[in-house]
A = this chain, B = another copy of it.
Amino acid sequence: MELRHFRSLTALVDHGFSVSRAAKHLHLVQPAVSQHIKQLESEIGARLFVRQGKRLTGLTDDGQQILHYARQALSLGDSILAVGRDHAEERSGVLRIATTHTQACYVLPPVIRQFVTTYPEVNLQINQGTPGELVEAAVNDAVDLAICTEALSEHAALEAIPCYRWNRCVIAPPNHPILRKQKLTLDALCDYPLITYVFGFTGRGNFSDTFAHAGVSPNVVLSAADTDVIKTYVREGLGIGIIARLAYQPGRDDDLGMRDLSHLFPWEITKVAYVRSKYLRKFARHFIDIFRAETGGGDADRVIEPCRPRRADEVAGD
């Protein structure tokens, strides 16, 4: 059993169980990967694929199990090569990041700017997705870093580094009564139609829990995956928006009134996560440092606050 068998196995499932396509992807011919599978199955002593005649259609339970191990082993091989590259070409390579809309638009830009100037040789790839997709992508080694507020701490394979904390604000058209109210309470928010994030996004869990815990029910008339949609409909007069405070941009959003809500909701903690067992290139670790410094450090009026650094075992218990 050698890594080449694992390469054929993973290529096969990654290309719709087509031996020929997998072979092409591996720069081999069909019979070669056929043989790899055959050898694997004979050495293991169990069928890995379900077959319809000669055609492979899916994985057996064992195959599923084994695929998982094979992927990990290959990933470790990549880690080993990565260690080497950190020697040969410390300042060049690829950094793949997955994050959510809010992070990508409002938090990452200055970080990216600083990173690309210090590492002009690094090919930076940013993917956008839902928190669930980020976790998926990270554990499948489709990206190196995942950045968001939800879901990252749940997965045992991920190391999640807390970077900064943030809270919410309400935005409304300039003359909206909510902006003049003396005491801004949850009840007050419930008096108006609300626009905020969909479930699974940007702290929506804590948002709903807070109302539920207070025994009041907000009237959410629109849920959006990203802040721009919320702003748009607030400008349309559909309701008042509750967004991450850091997504309110003075200058750009001066046509909207804004009031802080951090006294009403729990703080959210945005984290950057990576799979524990993988080697992170030096520049990837540096990216995390830059991210923490940039978000934790300056720009106080965006209410990005630094967050106490924590040790790994604390993070695990989140």
A-side residues, CB < 8 A to B, are 1-4, 43-46, 62, 65-66, 69-70, 72-73, 76-77, 79-81, 83-85, 87-88, 154, 156, 276-277, 279, 312-313, 316-318
Contact = CB atoms under 8 A, between A and B. Distances in A.
Given A44-B83, A45-B84, A76 B70 contact: yes
A73 B80 CA distance: 10
19 contacts: A3-B73, A43-B81, A44-B80, A44-B81, A44-B83, A45-B88, A62-B87, A65-B83, A66-B80, A66-B83, A69-B79, A70-B80, A73-B73, A154-B313, A156-B276, A156-B313, A156-B316, A277-B277, A317-B318
Given A2-B2, A69-B80, A316-B317, A87 B156 contact: no
A69 B66 CA distance: 18
B45 A87 contact: yes
Given A45-B85, A66-B83, A87-B46, A76 B77 contact: no
Contacts of A88: 45-46
A77 B316 contact: no
Contact of A76 (B44, B73, B85): B73
Given A65-B279, A87-B62, A277-B277, A81 B1 contact: yes
Nearest to A153: B313
A91 to B, nearest CB: 15
A1 B80 contact: yes
A162 to B, nearest CB: 15
A161 B295 CA distance: 38
Given A3-B3, A44-B81, A69-B79, 15 more contacts: A43-B81, A44-B80, A44-B83, A45-B84, A45-B88, A46-B83, A46-B87, A62-B84, A65-B279, A69-B83, A76-B76, A156-B313, A277-B277, A316-B316, A317-B317
Contacts of A154: 313
A288 to B, nearest CB: 18
Choose among A84, A85, A312 the residue with the greatest number of B CB atoms under 10 Å from its CB: A84
Nearest to A81: B44
A70 B83 CA distance: 12
A316 B87 CA distance: 34
Nearest to A77: B1
A1 B3 contact: yes
A200 B1 CA distance: 41
Contacts of A70: 76, 80
Contacts of A316: 156, 316-317
Query: Sorted from nearest, which 8 A-B pairs have the closest CB atoms?
Result: A317-B317, A44-B84, A73-B76, A45-B84, A46-B87, A2-B2, A73-B73, A69-B76
A81 B79 CA distance: 23
Nearest to A278: B69
Contact of A84 (B3, B43, B84, B317): B43
A154 B316 CA distance: 10
A316 B314 CA distance: 10
Contacts of A76: 69-70, 72-73, 76
